[in-house]
Amino acid sequence: MKKGLFIIFAVVLAPVLLVGLVALAAGDWQQVGSTVGGDQVLVSSVTPQKNGLRSAWIRVEYKEPIRLPQGGPFVELRARVRFNCASAVPSAVTNSEWFYSRDRGGKLVVSKKTHHDDQFGQVAEGGFGGIAREFVCKQK
């Protein structure tokens, strides 16, 4: 009985915590640039880690809703990302957790989690990866 209640509680609480984490990171967004297409790139909560790793929240506000392999059209993307700033490969992301929103109200409709993401922010995803990585890796 106790185990069943714990599972129900965890299933109900997990989405609330996920939305709470995304909202918490929204407190200190800093605009760091825009893509060629006019999409705004924002960064929040940069945290240095060991061996040249840095984690941060990345937010992209698409000028026009975008269709991605994950679905869409999306107006915003938020991702919790860990960059390997010591790597010579500019797109090396050691892990990432993505949240895509379909409307301007921030409704989370798709999430994706990876342990290694060489495609982070490449042209197919809006072309914002280099802007985000450059800013995050320059932080002290």
pTM score of the predicted model: 0.71
Q: Hey, what amino acid is at 50?
A: K
Q: What is the mean pLDDT of the chain?
A: 77
Task: Please check the confidence at residue 59 and state whether its pLDDT lies above 90.
Answer: yes
Task: Please check the confidence at residue 35 and state whether its pLDDT lies above 90.
Answer: yes
What are 126's two structure tokens? 């809006």
Between the alpha carbon of residue 5 and those of residues 16, 35, 41, 63, 92, the distances in Å are: 17, 47, 42, 44, 41
Task: Please check the confidence at residue 52 and state whether its pLDDT lies above 80.
Answer: yes
Pairing, β 40-48 against β 53-68: antiparallel
The SS3 call for residue 113 is strand
